[in-house]
Structure 1
Amino acid sequence: MVSPMFRLETEVDKARRDLLRRRLRETNTAASPVLRALRGTPGEREAPLHVWVMDPGGALAGGLVGHTWTTWLHVTYLWVDAPHRGAGIGSRILAEAERLAVTERGARHARVETWDFQAPDFYRRHGYEVVCAIPDYPPGITEYTLTKCLR
């Protein structure tokens, strides 16, 4: 057996990253009866889901970037510009993403990660429950993972 060569890279090699992701998905799918039973390839089961709100002048007022995967909505980013905060835009954005995930994608659950200074209370008010808290990630901050049953 040849000894492996290790190489640290700080630049993104997109082709290699995609190859690694594809091979990991193949390995996971082969090992999991649940993933094997799902329709489509792993790439077909994951789809971007974005919701944007523009102000009257056409500037970005807020938005959500996420994706659906199997029966889950994963909220990656949710942001509202400071002048528009407190007007319910974030709530409407989240509700629209959940609605689309359920009606268009068959999602049954949602998940999000947020830091203690960001929006854990916002998500709790919208029915999300904390399932994980990681203190000191990054130092001095707690990261929360929250989930919600959508149906």
Structure 2
Amino acid sequence: MFRIEAEVDKQRRDLLRSRLRDTNTAASPVLAALRGTPAERETPLHVWALDESGDLAGGLVGHTWTTWLHVAYLWVDAPHRGARLGSRLLTRAERIAHDERGCRGARLETWDFQAPEFYRGHGYKVVCAIPDYPPGITEYTLIKPLR
């Protein structure tokens, strides 16, 4: 007999994640080869742009894992848009991921009203489109090889 619960539990989440990682590692020679190496860990990668006053003008939050950069958030404050600040943040993150962490690819998700054309202009290609996620909006997953 099982008791099923639906509640936020960070301790159980961490335990589940650890057990899933162990199961995946045991099933995959590639993940097993990474076991215990720095590439196995998700390593945060943050790039910030500060204005003349030291206030946040934009930023990129992501992480690297194995040979991939995953961009979670990229944002530029409205007064600074159009000044290529987003391009500079993205380029810097890609350079760090490639040159310092050995990443060979980058991935991200964006919605149709956000920035798919911006990312295409930076060499990203759409590999997945999910219509109506959320309703009326399409979410795209894009990837790019890093060189």
TM-score category, normalised to shorter length: over 0.9
Aligned partners of 1:39 and 1:45 also within 8 Å: no
Match of 2:116 in 1: 120
Counterparts in 2 of 1:4-23, with a 5 A limit? 4-9=2-7, 12-23=8-19
Q: CA deviation at 1:41?
A: 5.6
| Mapped pair 1:133 → 2:124 | no
Q: CA deviation at 1:43?
A: 8.3
SS in 2 for 1:123: helix
Q: Identical aligned pairs, as a percentage?
A: 77
Counterparts in 2 of 1:2-151, with a 5 A limit? 3-9=1-7, 12-40=8-36, 44-151=40-147
SS in 1 for 2:16: helix
Aligned partners of 1:64 and 1:75 also within 8 Å: yes
Which 5+ residue runs of structure 1 have no aligned equivalent? Answer: none
- Give the direction of change, closer, same or farther, for the CA distance of 1:98–1:130 in structure 2 (3 Å limit): same
In 2, the alpha carbon distance for the partners of 1:106 and 1:42 equals: 11
Cα shift readout 1:15-39 (whole Å, capped 9, x = no counterpart): 1111111111111111111111125
In 1, the alpha carbon distance for the partners of 2:9 and 2:57 equals: 33
Cα shift readout 1:49-74 (whole Å, capped 9, x = no counterpart): 00000010111000000000000000
SS in 1 for 2:109: strand
TM-score, with structure 2 as normaliser: 0.96
Backbone CA RMSD of aligned residues: 1.4
TM-score, with structure 1 as normaliser: 0.93
SS in 1 for 2:143: strand
Aligned partners of 1:107 and 1:150 also within 8 Å: yes
SS in 2 for 1:27: helix
Which 5+ residue runs of structure 2 have no aligned equivalent? Answer: none
